[in-house]
Structure 1
């Protein structure tokens, strides 16, 4: 793994910054720990491009606000969001805004490395686009109606219990549909399933034209 790969670790928790930096340095990355979103935005203007490991909940400016400022200021760096328990709804919003993935704390080393690898693939291949809408729609075509309903609920950021209530089924049944959905899509994480769902939303809508009289 090339040593020049730079990861900005933006988290207000010093212990998280230290542990993530230690882990990533041993995996061959350069790291730049930064204690707040405001400080990151100050430093990253004109700075070396890299991937951003961004905590979703920080004082003064949270991860979503930092991400929006990056978009507004044309700071084109792949973002991997770090979330705590119960922050899935916020992570979904971050992915809808273009984040590569989200990882829940405490995270596994391989999960973090895999997300960063995808981020650097996007960074290093500027022509690499998100999954094509047509490809995503083909992937989704294998789902049953209920499996798609569950995915739609997850894309909205709803927890299983809310999806269950909306669909009039039990949370356990939602878990079964969710597991089947992920197996059919051949994904290992919710973030991967969400990327397919969001990509499919970008497909153009084809409206039926008027019927021509013969």
Structure 2
């Protein structure tokens, strides 16, 4: 479990907030609690690693409304919903909207802690991928327009001869451009260069958007 992360608990029931804080802190995690969605939004610093534990039904902005608000704002914080029996359909809707899990009341402590561990692991992996894509984008920015063209054709599987014909240059010139692309992108192989291109493409066109 990622002990550098924070579990943000949003619930209008003070007794529930206190109980959840004691339980989660017993595993060594940092916990911050909020009595409403509005208070959370006023105090949360975007970009902090962790996950969000939300009650579905709250006065004012509901858990689902907060989840939707965070999605529109582009926050990547994983969401776990705590639901009553009558809220299961709402929780399923939230899962389809991107929540990582929902826990029904009354719940077993172990089930909740496992769900939090999964959410934190998901957050850590997504942050690592985002950092990797940002690094690749920075390397791409160092390429000249012609090097971008060559990289696109190389990662599309085209030969030096085909690229040379398409660009109206010699195969030797293509080889030189290709070598500079590999150097600037810090790619050890063509396969690695293709993986970099695919990683950036998946960031530009994520599934489901």
C-alpha root-mean-square deviation of aligned residues, in Å?
2.0
Q: Which digits, 9 at most, give the CA deviation of each residue in 1:139-195, with x for residues without a partner?
A: xxxxxxxxxxxxxxxxxxxxxxxxxxxxxxxxxxxxxxxxxxxxxxxxxxxxxxxxx
Q: Which residue of 1 aligns with 2:109?
A: 109
Q: TM-score, normalised by structure 1?
A: 0.57
Q: Which residue of 2 aligns with 1:22?
A: 22
How big is the shift at 1:86?
1.1
Q: Which digits, 9 at most, give the CA deviation of each residue in 1:107-153, with x for residues without a partner?
A: 1111011111111111111267xxxxxxxxxxxxxxxxxxxxxxxxx
Mark the runs of 5 or more structure 2 residues left unpaired by the alignment: 130-206
Q: TM-score, normalised by structure 2?
A: 0.59
More helix by share: 2
Aligned 8 A contact 2:9 2:17 in 1: yes
Mark the runs of 5 or more structure 1 residues left unpaired by the alignment: 129-201, 204-214
Q: How many residues align?
A: 131
Q: Secondary structure of 1:87's match? A: helix
Q: Distance in 1 between matches of 2:47 and 2:31?
A: 13
Q: Distance in 2 between matches of 1:99 and 1:121?
A: 14
Q: Which digits, 9 at most, give the CA deviation of each residue in 1:84-121, with x for residues without a partner?
A: 12110110111010000000112111101111111111
Larger radius of gyration: 2
Q: Which digits, 9 at most, give the CA deviation of each residue in 1:43-97, with x for residues without a partner?
A: 2243622100000000010011000000011111000000012110110111010
Q: Distance in 2 between matches of 1:107 and 1:40?
A: 24
Q: Distance in 1 between matches of 2:91 and 2:75?
A: 20
